[in-house]
Amino acid sequence: MAYFNQEMDDHIVNRICQLLNQTLGFGYGAQKKYLIISRLGKRLKELKIDNYQAYLKILESSPAELNRFYDLITTNVTSFFREADHFVILQQELLSGILDRHPHDRKITCWSAGCSSGEEAYTLAIVLSEALSPGWEIRILASDVSIQKLQEGMNGIYHIEKLRGLSGILIKKYFQKISEEPLRFQIRPELRQKVVFRRINLNEELQIPSYIRFDMIFCRNVFIYLTNESRVKITDGFYSHLREGGFLFMGHSEALNSFNDPRWLAYKGCIYQKIP
Ligand SMILES: C[S@@+](CC[C@H](N)C(=O)[O-])C[C@H]1O[C@@H](n2cnc3c(N)ncnc32)[C@H](O)[C@@H]1O
């Protein structure tokens, strides 16, 4: 097809936004028109369709296309040791108290919710591996709605450019080189096995067994896309899945009004503690 009409009228923009808002809890509206066009234009060409009305029809009838849509429309920027002060605070101020709550089981359980391609979860695995004495078990759930990003996380393969936040010592200890051109490294299997990747849409009923209680939940740079209503619902889910005294780490720009909620104690730097 020689000509692709990638313009769309506001009616279609609104329907695409509605779909996104209903399923993922986003707060997108007509102001996102050009973001949507720039992210989906290539997909329309792949599908050999020339208008967004036809694309919407496919989206509404095909769960596989809906998943591809999530891959394309979500913003997945992340890095190792992103917002690094959180990991310093965890190690220097919070960790000993967290470990004290495990006098018998010596098992620490964490969740990186909205993990993108896994850098946050692996950073956590590295920090805990460095800090804990042998005999401690580290279990990390890493979840996202983008299947493509989860696959990248599971593979644990990163271009050298992505390892900028890491010292040479940590790279040597936790990564192995797998190719020269391009220069890429893979997380070593001992570290990879501490992280389990699962598809979880935070805006749906959480499919996590109720007996699982996390010591800490990282949900950073996800709430910025969501409506206040979704944030409140998701925060309630986090509350019920945290241990008493457990910590919720939010992104640095994500301090929320709902944290006037007396069930949460604001620690510092957008870290919140569950008060029983
Ligand atoms: C900007 S990345 C943040 C990655 C990492 N937490 C960090 O701070 O570096 C946001 C991630 O949230 C995911 N996300 C957005 N809405 C979601 C939802 N409703 N359920 C699960 N994941 C979602 C996106 O797919 C994306 O990978």
193 & 127 share domain: yes
pLDDT band at 258 (very low <50, low <70, confident <90, very high): low
Question: Could you report the per-residue pLDDT of 175-203, keeping only the tens digit for each?
Answer: 999 999 999 999 999 999 999 999 999 99
CB of 21 shorter than 6 A to ligand 1: no
149 & 229 share domain: yes
Question: Could you report the per-residue pLDDT of 94-111, keeping only the tens digit for each?
Answer: 999 999 999 889 999 999
Q: Distance from the CA of 114 to the center of ligand 1, in angstroms?
A: 3
- Print burial letters for 102-140: b (CB count within 10 Å at least 16), e (below 16): eeeeeebbbbbbbbbbbbbbbbbbbbbbebeeeeeebbb
Q: What is the CATH number of the domain that holds 69?
A: 1.10.155.10
CB of 67 shorter than 6 A to ligand 1: no
pLDDT band at 165 (very low <50, low <70, confident <90, very high): confident
Alpha carbon nearest to ligand 1 atom 3, residue: 221
24 & 100 share domain: no
64 & 150 share domain: no
Predicted local confidence at residue 2, as pLDDT: 37
200 & 269 share domain: yes
User: With 70 as the cut, is the pLDDT of residue 4 above it?
Assistant: no
Strand partners, 214: 242
- State the residue range of the domain holding 123: 85-274
144 & 189 share domain: yes
143 & 61 share domain: no
CB of 120 shorter than 6 A to ligand 1: yes
- Residue 79 within any structural domain of the chain: no
Q: What is the CATH number of the domain that holds 261?
A: 3.40.50.150
CA–CA distance from 15 to each of 8, 21, 82, 99, 217 (Å)?
Answer: 11, 10, 34, 48, 33
Domain count across the chain:
2
124 & 207 share domain: yes
Q: How far is Cα 231 from Cα 223, in angstroms, rounded to an integer?
A: 6
CB of 220 shorter than 6 A to ligand 1: yes
159 & 112 share domain: yes
- Residue 4 within any structural domain of the chain: no
- Residue 192 within any structural domain of the chain: yes
**Active site members:** 39, 144
